[in-house]
Amino acid sequence: MLRVVTRMAHTSVSDIPSLTFLYRNNELEASKHPPLNGASPAYNDRIGLFCGDITTLSVDAIVNAANTSLLGGGGVDGAIHLAAGRGLRAECRTLGGCSTGLSKITNAYNLPCRKVIHTVGPVYDDIDPSKSEAALRSCYKSSLELAVQNGLKTIAFSAISTGVYGYPSNGAAHIACDTVRKFMENGDGEKLEKVIFVTFESKDVRAYNNIIPRHFPPAPGTENEATQERTAGAETDTS
């Protein structure tokens, strides 16, 4: 079971466990399903998983699940604006809003992070889910690109669109992991030292615990006994 980190004044990058650490300490297990990507310690060392309050993170950038106005709302968006103070809303007023699937960057004001990247996730469309998927992928990709363009090394993502926008948590986690993995495989991705997935609601915790091991499976030498058994079972399924 992944640890829940209670609220504190600041949570530094070093306090956020990597996937390598979680696998080694039996806090994350290999998937029962075949992995979608090969195991890589280089990636697992650079991916973090944090269950708690994103506003406590002392990282280069946190990603806010914003609305098109960028002026604050409910859920994570409201919490970030509240913790940042009035300066964030004032700066956001100068940005002219943001379209769905795109991202904009601001200062962080009273937050312990350096910057806030605001991205507008899609309202889930169960009639045309491919449109929602494309927009959500664009949220993650544009946020990562902004981080690199601004020389930021550590970035933490909230679970975009899984709240009132209704995106199913498993599907959203898959898109988040897949987009981050592909970005890390290109040249710009090498400039990021750590990408952190932040969960808060139990449905998102379960989704990321299930989906992450398919995209970032445990690398040889980091598995505990339970992980080794699951990995062996997955390999048997595909043989």
% of residues, the chain, pLDDT over 90: 81
Higher per-residue confidence, 92 vs 233: 92
Domains, the chain, with CATH or none: 37-122+133-222 (3.40.220.10)
Q: What is the pLDDT of residues 96-118, one digit of tens each?
A: 999 999 999 999 999 999 999 99
- In the DSSP assignment, the letter for residue 54 is G
| pTM, full prediction | 0.88
First-to-last alpha carbon distance for the chain, in angstroms, is 29
Question: How many other C-beta atoms lie within 10 A of the C-beta of residue 63?
Answer: 28
Q: What is the pLDDT of residues 42-56, one digit of tens each?
A: 999 999 999 999 999
Question: How many other C-beta atoms lie within 10 A of the C-beta of residue 25?
Answer: 12
- Angle of helix 86-93 relative to helix 75-84, nearest 10 degrees? 110
Please give the pLDDT value at position 187. 82
- pLDDT confidence band for 137 (50 / 70 / 90): very high
Q: What is the pLDDT of residues 200-233, one digit of tens each?
A: 999 999 999 999 999 999 988 765 544 444 444 4
pLDDT above 50 (res 189)? yes
Counting DSSP H helices and E strands in the chain, the numbers are 8, 8
